[in-house]
Amino acid sequence: MALGGESLRSQAVLRKMQWRPLPMFLRGQIVIPVLHDPTHYFLGPMGDSNPTYFINVETNRIPFRETKPELAHWPTVFGSRPSKLDEWKEWYRRISASKQSLWKKMGIAKCLSLSLADMPKNESMLSVATYFWSDTLNSFIFGQGPMTPTVLYIKMLTGLDITSSANPIRLKIKSEYKIKTKVGGGWLGYATNNMGTGPVTDQEHIAFLNLWLERFVFCGTTCGPTAILQHLAQAIHEKKPIPLGKYLLGAVY
């Protein structure tokens, strides 16, 4: 009877509790309501709130603690870095004359302009940085703790959209446009064969965005180009909202 009475009391408490709707900033999050207080929620699931032990163990495992950095051992590690593509700037100027407003609306104008910057390869800096990288935490481990890029960093650095919601599967459509990827000459051949001379067509714009996504955003294979990202390029061309910033961060991890 005691067990039954306790059960009845619990049910009575639940009936009296009126759960308030979630605040807007919590909607879409995984939340767990607090049973005795309908105005409080836990963000969950979550583990130990003090990760010090795990961080200390990982700090002792990453390369810079296991070995002494010898930069001379890394002469060809970054040899697959893509070569400079002068035709890209010319193509950018041609397309931007008519598509700049669309790029701004889609939130890619800033990131597209960043692709014009000539960034010299600094192998020493890259080599040293890898000694602090933890492939378990997907973050850099420094003396003061872990540091990792977030969607806010992506937004500040690139301006890419991080708020739109899109189902990547629905974006994976069979395009009606045939982009010339198997033309020989790598990226140079791709740009030469897909760059037009008259008014910018839909196909040329999609081909341009496909190159930008694969080579500059997601850093695809150096023996490209491919049409793997053409569906994203076409979605941008068709002004469909895409959280490219989230996709970029996911590619980093």
pLDDT in tens, 148-182: 888 888 999 899 999 888 777 777 777 788 888 88
How confident is the prediction for the chain on average, in pLDDT? 77
Q: Is the pLDDT of residue 71 over 70?
A: no
Q: Is the pLDDT of residue 145 over 50?
A: yes
pLDDT (tens digit per residue) in 98-116: 999 999 999 999 999 999 9
Q: Compare 20 and 175 and report the one with higher pLDDT.
A: 175
pLDDT of residue 132: 81
pLDDT of residue 1: 37
- Percent of the chain surpassing pLDDT 70: 66
pLDDT of residue 101: 94
Q: Each residue of 201-217: b (16+ CB within 10 Å) or e?
A: eebbbbbbbbbbbbbbb
Q: Assign 4 a pLDDT band (cuts: 50, 70, 90).
A: very low
Q: Compare 146 and 66 and report the one with higher pLDDT.
A: 146
Q: Assign 10 a pLDDT band (cuts: 50, 70, 90).
A: very low
Q: Assign 209 a pLDDT band (cuts: 50, 70, 90).
A: very high
**What sign does the CA torsion over 44, 45, 48, 53 have?**
negative
pLDDT of residue 202: 93
Q: Taking residues 17-33, report their average pLDDT.
A: 59
User: What's this model's pTM, rounded to 2 decimal places?
Assistant: 0.70
pLDDT of residue 76: 63
Q: Assign 32 a pLDDT band (cuts: 50, 70, 90).
A: low
Q: Assign 125 a pLDDT band (cuts: 50, 70, 90).
A: confident
